[in-house]
A and B are shown apart, each in its own frame.
Chain A
Amino acid sequence: MTDIKHNAFLFDASRCIDCRACMVACSVENKIAMDKTRIWVAGVGIKGTYPDLQRGTMVYHCMHCEHPDCMSACPVGAYTKREDGPVTYNPDLCIGCRYCMNACPFGVPHFDYDKGLIDGAFIDKCTMCPQRIDNGQEPACVQTCPTDSLEFGEREELLKIAHARIAAHPDRYVNHVYGEFENGGTSYLILSHIPFSELGLPNLPEAPVNEVSEKVMELTIPFALGWGAVLTGVAAGVHMYNKKQEAKVVSEEKAEAGK
């Protein structure tokens, strides 16, 4: 580990009032086009029958995984997991293959169908506002949140805060911090008063999906070389066998001819 702080978000769904200040702040800060967004509101909305109702909303953007599947899937290395937390994306390298979109278990990267090959920047997603955090500011969404539903800080500290909140109000919260372990851990941690599935979050194993895929993928070259060797061996064997057979046929023919 380096001494760089490992940043993360903490989102508390019990505090979110769905005001969308975060969405506007992100759009302005990152100059997102009027028909695009990097944050969206997920969740059940209103559930139940009048007058027994419940409401749940969630600020949904990139989870900034510890083991980003987008990064594993990207064939050109356009993604980077920065040591201080953010998963960033370099549009100059992107070839628009959309493997990252299929790989991300949270469905975060989205494709810009308006852009052609020349324009580049096919994929868009939350970057954790590196231009702000490198400047000592909080990400735009966090800075503006009027109810402190979104907080920003060191992941370890936020985890402590999250667990302390659950301990203080066990009747309010689901007894789990989403993102602490999911998919090998994320840098977007979530507390909720309703089941996480109702916030639109997938039920994921603790082992990151790409742990398996990467192990398999790591075998590509040895496998390619090994299989090549095997095939070469087989080919050589076949060749030699054929030669032998040929020699045999020839000698038999000779023998036959000699008869």
Chain B
Amino acid sequence: MKQTISRRDFIKLGAASASAVVFGQMLSPRVAQAARDAGHVDANGDGYIPGMCEMCVWRCGLIAKVKDGRVVKLDGNPEHPHSRGNLCPRGQSGLMNTYDPDRVLSPLVRAGKRGEGLFRKASWDEALDIVAKNMLKIKAKYGAEAMVFSATHNLSQPLFENLLYAFGSPNYGTQRSLCFNAMIVSNLMTYGMEEPARIYDDKLNYILLTGRNLLEAISTSETHDLIMAIDRGAKVVYLDPRYTKTAAKATEWLPIKPGMDLAFHLALLHVIIGEKLYHEAFVTKNTVGFDELKKEVDRYTPQWAAPLTGIPAESISRIAHEFAAAAPHALAHNGWRTSNFINSFHTQRAIGILNALVGNWDVTITEAGGEESGTLGKPDQPPYPRVSALRLDGVPWKYPVVPFKIGVFQEMRDNIVKGDPYQAHGWFIARQNPIMSIPDRAKTLQAFGKMDFIVTMDILLNDTAWFSDVILPEASYLERYDPLVPIGNKIFLRQPMIEPQGEGKSALWIYKHLGERLGLGDYFQYTDEEDYLRQQLAPTGISLEELKAKGFVEVAESAHVGEGSEPIWNTPSGKIELYSDTLAKVGFSGIPTWVEPPQPASDQFYLLTGKVAQSTQTATQNNQLLHKYSDEPRLWMNAQTAAKLGFMTNDWVEVTSEVGKVHIRLLATEAIRPDCVYMTPGYGHLSKGLKTAFGIGASDSAVHVTYTDPISGGQALSQTFVTVKKA
């Protein structure tokens, strides 16, 4: 067998990854020696090295098989609570990110016009000098606030924040307002925490999923938990205008009209309060504002909600009864983004309140262990300079309850275009692709046009890098160290398994060396990555060598708030706030209330987006393995509607919204409401530097219209209406 594999391997390897072989390197003496010292690899450099995945934000633990200085296979780490030995298709494909033939192998400096894709190679010294010089020029001329910084949340975030706050800019862009602001802000208002943890124990027997497509938007351990709950016989009620893979496994699929989730949930509250199905003792003791809530939901009868949602009144009433009967072993899952409207904040509040009313705290939801651990140390640093400039994204002057670390990204973009309240001139972007992620792509490109200088840090020439002036190539997650992160009582390590392709460097290295050039060296007091980790580990008494050998260490878990005592919530009242005085004081409704969402005209469709298991946002479409096993991204349209309009599967159609149009092939399917169409997000790339992804599918951001929820700042991603005609 061995013999046959070796010959076949040789041939297939050549066919599969010829380019990867060219770029691949033998294990360098440094990494090889480190791996040998840690006992991971033998004298030949072959063996298994633990690390951490970065194909999405769930961060599964993994074990890489290394042979001849190449990662040849990734498996889930059984010790890691997020992977439990499994990996999703993205995690399995992770090594093709590292060996992507389109990797940026050295710093690049723009040599043509923006968007032409002409770059020249530069040394790290030259590239960092150019970046520092431009940033300092902008700071001197317009003030530090004229530099905008944005990054997608990752393990090196504390150093990214050091860079931006030490530089003195208030303008911090994250991707969160494009995803789950409504959920986070509503939980902060209700429970005083961003997102309570969900408990899937053996007794959990009723799960209400509001647009939470957990079997396609995979979070490995939670997806596993849900399937096992279904396997045990738990009832799953699933609201979604599409028959997703989650709908297929749910006990009951309710194809709700988009934007009407709020009406459904208000009616549930009406039944549970009106028919006294709530947990009275829990509500009295642990909540405030029950009377105000009772008064408000009195008018939201199931009969009122039925025509809005398209769900019969009897079904709504029955589900309320079933949920209350199953409580406390019932879970109303916070939705995600399948149906995001300007009223989504109230929907999320209603879901949080439903859990509170039936008293399932510490049974199916509980306080989540934070990533900030008191057990780890960090290098000394001076305090940040005082910043008095307003934030461009309207936090808090327009969005008073949105946290600084969350922000309103699309508003930042709009105010860059408007130059209001001041003009931004530079943008530092770390592994993020705002051109593809912020709605109304044409407007984002306009914002780029306002910039004197744009620098992007990524492993690929993503669309944003394509329009940048300098590109700083990062080492991939199999090639670098990142700061440590505790999960429960374990601390996991991301460590290099191979040398970086080309001249890729870790974020820890890049931020330090850029910071020093900006005169901010005091905020980066570590000699190298390992020194940073040793300083983090210092208070624990654990050696870096021990951590490297095992991939994780166990430490004493920080005390769970309320454990063994009365639960305490970090809200102004110290209780779960059914009525929020904080919201009322800044002029919003203190209790969830009905906000009528706009509806499409008779010739328009709701444009839905939603995840597939084979891609993460805009970042993975160029991965050849994922590309191999992905479905072609087509525009889903209900089969009967398509027949009526004379469309057939694979017809090219033109999808038009008020901000743009795209061409895409059609998929006529029974699996979607007749008044909706659906697109897989993240396709339709502009960068010709993404040779696998370029030309595939169409961009949702090119047609998405910017609508912002006034309370949470969340982008109402399902509120774009489109017309469809033959292309």
Contact = CB atoms under 8 A, between A and B. Distances in A.
A55 B244 CA distance: 10
Contacts of B11: 115, 119, 121
Nearest to A127: B1
Interface stretch (B12-20, B123-131, B188-196): B12-20
B611 to A, nearest CB: 11
A103 to B, nearest CB: 21
Interface string A59-89: 0000000000000000000000000000011
Interface stretch (B90-98, B169-177, B200-208, B504-512): B90-98
Interface in B14-39: 15-16
A33 B13 CA distance: 7
Given A20-B89, A50-B671, A51-B253, A147 B227 contact: yes
A14 B231 CA distance: 8
A192 to B, nearest CB: 14
Main secondary structure of the interface of B (DSSP, over half): helix
Interface stretch (B70-78, B331-339, B541-549): B70-78
A29 to B, nearest CB: 6
Contact of A15 (B227, B626, B638, B669): B227
Interface stretch (A138-146, A179-187, A251-259): A138-146
A15 B5 CA distance: 32
A143 B85 contact: yes
Given A17-B216, A50-B670, A50-B671, A144 B628 contact: no
Given A34-B15, A50-B638, A140-B73, A92 B3 contact: yes
B612 to A, nearest CB: 9
Nearest to B219: A146
Contact of B88 (A14, A21, A30, A54): A21
A131 B72 CA distance: 14
A28 interface: yes
B76 to A, nearest CB: 7
A28 B223 contact: no
A34 to B, nearest CB: 5
Chain A: number of interface residues, binned into ranges: 35 or more
B397 interface: no
A54 B671 CA distance: 10
Contacts of B243: 46, 50-51, 53, 55
Contacts of B2: 131
A204 interface: no
B255 A51 contact: yes
Given A19-B88, A34-B16, A53 B223 contact: no
Interface string A18-36: 1111011101111111101
Contacts, number: 153
A49 B614 CA distance: 26
A96 interface: no
A55 B671 CA distance: 10
B16 A31 contact: yes
B248 to A, nearest CB: 4
Given A50-B639, A147-B224, A91 B674 contact: no
Contact of B92 (A21, A49, A137, A147): A21
A15 to B, nearest CB: 5
A17 B16 contact: no
A131 to B, nearest CB: 7
B670 A46 contact: yes
B517 interface: no
Given A46-B671, A50-B674, A144-B76, A24 B16 contact: no
A19 B671 contact: no
23 contacts: A19-B216, A19-B613, A20-B89, A20-B629, A23-B89, A24-B628, A28-B73, A30-B5, A32-B12, A32-B16, A34-B15, A34-B16, A48-B670, A50-B638, A50-B640, A50-B674, A53-B243, A90-B4, A91-B4, A92-B7, A119-B11, A146-B87, A146-B218
Given A17-B223, A25-B87, A37-B629, 14 more contacts: A17-B613, A18-B613, A24-B93, A24-B625, A28-B74, A28-B625, A29-B73, A49-B670, A50-B640, A55-B243, A92-B7, A119-B11, A143-B85, A145-B86
Interface of B: 1-5, 7-9, 11-13, 15-16, 72-76, 85-89, 91-93, 95, 215-216, 218, 220, 223-224, 227-228, 231, 233, 243, 245, 247-249, 253, 255, 613-614, 624-626, 628-629, 638-640, 669-674
Interface of A: 14-15, 17-21, 23-25, 27-34, 36-37, 46, 48-51, 53-55, 88-92, 115, 119-121, 127, 130-131, 137, 140, 143-148, 169
- Cβ-closest 9 pairs across A and B: A55-B248, A19-B613, A24-B92, A147-B227, A17-B215, A21-B89, A33-B15, A50-B670, A20-B629
